[in-house]
Amino acid sequence: MIRVVLVDDQALMRAGFRALMDAEDGIEVVGEAADGAQGVALVGELVPDVALIDVQMPVMTGIEATRRIAADPRLADVRVVILTNYGLDEYVFEALRAGASGFLLKDTEPADLLQAIEVVARGDALLSPAVTRRLIGEFVARPPDRATPPGLEGLTRREREVTALAARGLTNEEIAAHMVISPFTAKTHVSRAMTKLGARDRAQLVVFAYESGLVRARVEGDAGADAL
């Protein structure tokens, strides 16, 4: 059973999400909160598998709530998905930096929402290759909000390569084809890189790759961009 906490200041939105998930076998809404501060407290109390958190709320924003959840060692296994009305706006990359595993538009199709919860609950990032590339193109070239994270020197050559490829939006299967290795080996390299870097999930690995300078966003006409 996947246990979910809903954090949104709109009661009607919470009711809609709850009705959808309660009707699905294998997913259970275990709590609701109406602002970010309540959400952090509730997640700390219930320790769900997934927290769906609205990006803009009173008292505390969804981004700050995500940051506090991600910083709590007791909540290391809680996956945060940011809910937004705004698509790929300035909040999304900031949310990923804060520790979110991905994001969903509030008008997402019901079937896609349920699938997204399952994807995040099993530890995968809710970032399709297309979304990853759009995020890179629109946001990653901006100066980081914090110092470059340490740990790059601890990666092997192979681990640096798979991290760079993941940052460009490639799936494990695409990484395997590019490197002429098996998908299982590609997944193993990705997992080891995440462990060494302290990345919660693949989304955090993408953030690290760009903020560390391992890869950089492609600039039009820049033949050297995206180099390892």
Q: What is the mean pLDDT of residues 198-204?
A: 76
pTM (2 d.p.): 0.68
3-state SS track over the chain: CEEEEEECCCHHHHHHHHHHHHCCCCEEEEEEECCHHHHHHHHHHHCCCEEEEECCCCCCCHHHHHHHHHHCHHHCCCEEEEEECCCCCHHHHHHHHHCCCEEEECCCCHHHHHHHHHHHHCCCCECCHHHHHHHHHHHHCCCCCCCCCCCHHHCCHHHHHHHHHHHCCCCHHHHHHHHCCCHHHHHHHHHHHHHHHCCCCHHHHHHHHHHCCCCCCCCCCCCCCCCC
Average pLDDT of the chain is 80
Rounded Cα distance, 112 and 108, in Å: 6
Instruction: Using the predicted structure, report yes or no on whether residue 50 has a pLDDT greater than 70.
Output: yes
pLDDT computed for residue 221 by the predictor: 37
pLDDT value for 220:
37
pLDDT class of 219 with cuts at 50, 70, 90:
very low
pLDDT score of 224: 33
* Across 31-35, 93-97, 113-117, 181-185, least confident range: 93-97
pLDDT at 8: 95
Report the length, in residues, of the chain: 228
Burial 57-77 (b: 16+ CB within 10 A, else e): beebbbbebbbbbbeeeebee
pLDDT in tens, 72-90: 999 988 999 888 776 555 6
What confidence category does residue 209 fall into, taking pLDDT thresholds of 50, 70 and 90?
confident
- List, for residues 114-171, the tens digit of each pLDDT value: 888 888 887 766 655 555 555 655 555 555 554 545 567 788 889 999 988 887 778 8
- pLDDT tens-place string over residues 158-190: 999 998 888 777 888 889 999 999 989 998 998
Per the DSSP assignment, residues forming a β-bridge with 83 are 54, 104
Q: Which of 58, 57, 54 is nearest to 80 (CA)?
A: 54
Mean pLDDT of 16-36: 93
Of 102 and 130, the one with more pLDDT: 102
Residue 69: pLDDT above 80? yes
